[in-house]
Structure 1
Amino acid sequence: MINGQIRDKEVRVIGSDGEQLGVMSSRDAQKLADEAELDLVKISPKANPPVVKIIDYGKYKYELARKDKENKKKQKTVELKEIRLSPNIEANDLNTKMNNARKFLGKGNKVKVTLRFRGREMAHAYKSKVVLDDFAAKLEDIATIEKPAKMEGRSMSMTLTEKK
């Protein structure tokens, strides 16, 4: 809320240079802001009495937008990368998939390792859990298991995250 939108009887006023001017009526605070050719902005509406500040509102909005932009730059989004395996995967193929998982984990992403079963492979799904356990064991120096291996339809999957 700015200027005429402030309807409170009494407000605590902070001057343009940061000094406290005390508690006064909102009309008097508006007069002070008009004399300084600045805006009266409600900073803390939940305080008792509400806190208002005499500042240039356009500059204030610009500073808030800049802070938000800086915070978004520093923010890191974590993606979920998926690696698909089959129950009868060869050692070299498994190593290649493991190297890809290392890259993903190194970049700070989570890795979902999925073991897909086709046709008659479903009959021996419980034996294939060893492939996922082996995958996790070889990556345990840089990864921890977030979600353990679990059957989901025709596939078994687990999620790995980077160690802190």
Structure 2
Amino acid sequence: MIANEKIKAAEVQVTGVNGEDLGIMSTKEALQMAKELDVDLVCLSLASSPPPCQLVSRTDFKQQKVKENAKNRKAEKGPKVKEVRLSAFIEDHDYETKKHQAERILQAGDVVELTVRLEKKESQEAKRLVEELVRDLAHCGKQEKGIQVSGKQVVAVVLPL
């Protein structure tokens, strides 16, 4: 974010502290007004001419900058992959609990890996269970690839929407 003296444009479109439109004025006038009101002049976008700027209280500006930095750091790291383990023969209530857990993870923006550990010959039941769970999670996530059936487990990866 560009603020105060760092704004290089000759004229700016100014919005007041309470959201009222103050019109187009020179940057010097806008900075003078910001000083009088003891607030910061913050440039919202450099894409248009004159650039839209807003008068923002100093504490709000600092909090907004901290939130933006945290958001950028999270975006750089990328989404986490979180595993939800199930068994092939699962009770209805446990299934619902795991489904809600996966929904929460997807809504937080992370990737869910649904894993069913196999015992004996239950790969068909496990695959059917994972297919059903992927269908139930379709409103908040989409399946990355097909369901992978290996010797000891059945895995599906669901990406957030």
Q: Distance in 1 between matches of 2:41 and 2:157?
A: 52
Say if 2:156 is the partner of 1:159.
yes
Runs of 5+ consecutive residues of structure 2 not aligned to the other structure: 71-79, 104-111, 136-142
The equivalent residue for 1:148 is: 147
The equivalent residue for 1:107 is: 101
Aligned partners of 1:143 and 1:160 also within 8 Å: no
The equivalent residue for 2:84 is: 81
Higher gyration radius (CA): 1
The equivalent residue for 1:132 is: 123
What is the deviation of 1:134?
2.4
- Partner SS state of residue 143, structure 1: helix
The equivalent residue for 2:12 is: 11
What is the deviation of 1:101?
6.6
Aligned partners of 2:11 and 2:25 also within 8 Å: yes
Root-mean-square deviation (CA), in Å? 4.0
Structure 2 length normalisation: TM-score? 0.57
Amino acid at match of 1:56: S
Deviations along 1:32-57, one digit per CA (max 9) or x if unpaired, are 21222222111223222111112212
Q: Distance in 2 between matches of 1:53 and 1:3?
A: 10
Aligned partners of 2:13 and 2:52 also within 8 Å: yes
The equivalent residue for 1:51 is: 52
Deviations along 1:45-101, one digit per CA (max 9) or x if unpaired, are 3222111112212223336767999xxxxxxx87323458xxxxxxxxx64xx3497
The equivalent residue for 1:40 is: 41
What is the deviation of 1:105?
3.1
Q: 1:83 to 1:45 in 2, by over 3 A?
A: same
- Partner SS state of residue 102, structure 2: coil
Q: Distance in 1 between matches of 2:126 and 2:149?
A: 15
What is the deviation of 1:30?
0.9
Aligned residues: 129
Question: What percent identity do the matched residue pairs reach?
Answer: 20
Q: 1:105 to 1:68 in 2, by over 3 A?
A: farther
Q: 1:149 to 1:101 in 2, by over 3 A?
A: farther
